[in-house]
Amino acid sequence: MIFTVAIDGPAAAGKGTISRAVAARFGFRHLDTGLLYRAVGAKGGDPVAAAVGLAPADLERGDLRTLEAGQAASKVAAIPEVRAALVAFQRRFARAEGGAVLDGRDIGTVICPEAEVKLYVTASAEVRAHRRWLEVGGDLSVVLAEVRERDARDMGRADAPLKAAADAVVLDTSEMSVEEAVERAIAVVQARMEGR
């Protein structure tokens, strides 16, 4: 069975947690596409060469979840040649037999516009900054400024800006528990699978 779940949204909205839970519930493979960009940014040097030469082992680095890696990812993701180098990999992963969940910024709009399910997971900048601050610590006002800066860059880039696909189900997790958000996402996927 080929069945793609595309989950997009801004940083710290909960899409990674939801994606992993959905993949586990349905036995689908999971790809955090942000890790591809984080790995390219973390490799340093020429970002285009890093993207073209990206290997699975590069996704296993221990420093890919840091704030610095996230900022680097957002910068290299704005380079059209980097995006082009990583698109084919993501599309192959998404349409392989057995089902797949991909989370990122442009899965439902650019990478997999044919996805059977599209979710856009969001939350207020303040809620997302607080969640990120709980993960990484530091000064909350600085984390909030970085979240807003990243949103502006991701939503304002010319190539594949972050936005909800026209046919995406929007999940605002600002007031939801993790369990409630996961439950809602699973219900959407289940309904689409039953409707096939």
User: Is 98 labelled as part of a ligand binding site?
Assistant: no
Q: Give the residue from 41, 117, 116 showing the smallest Cα distance to 86.
A: 41
**Residues 54 and 86: beta-carbon distance below 8 Å:** yes
Across the chain, how many H-helices and E-strands are there? Answer: 8, 5
User: Is 56 labelled as part of a ligand binding site?
Assistant: no
Residues in CB range of 35: below 8 A, 6 or more apart: 59, 64
User: Is 16 labelled as part of a ligand binding site?
Assistant: yes
H or E element: which one contains 5? strand 4-8
How open is the CA angle 94-97-103, to the nearest 5 degrees? 25
Three-state SS string over 15-64 comes to HHHHHHHHHHHHCCEEEEHHHHHHHHHHHCCCHHHHHHCCCHHHHHCCCC
Q: Which two tokens stand for residue 43?
A: 């490799």
**Residues 178 and 170: beta-carbon distance below 8 Å:** no
User: Is 34 labelled as part of a ligand binding site?
Assistant: no
User: Is 11 labelled as part of a ligand binding site?
Assistant: yes
- Cite the annotated binding site for ATP by residue number: 9-17
Binding residues: 9-17
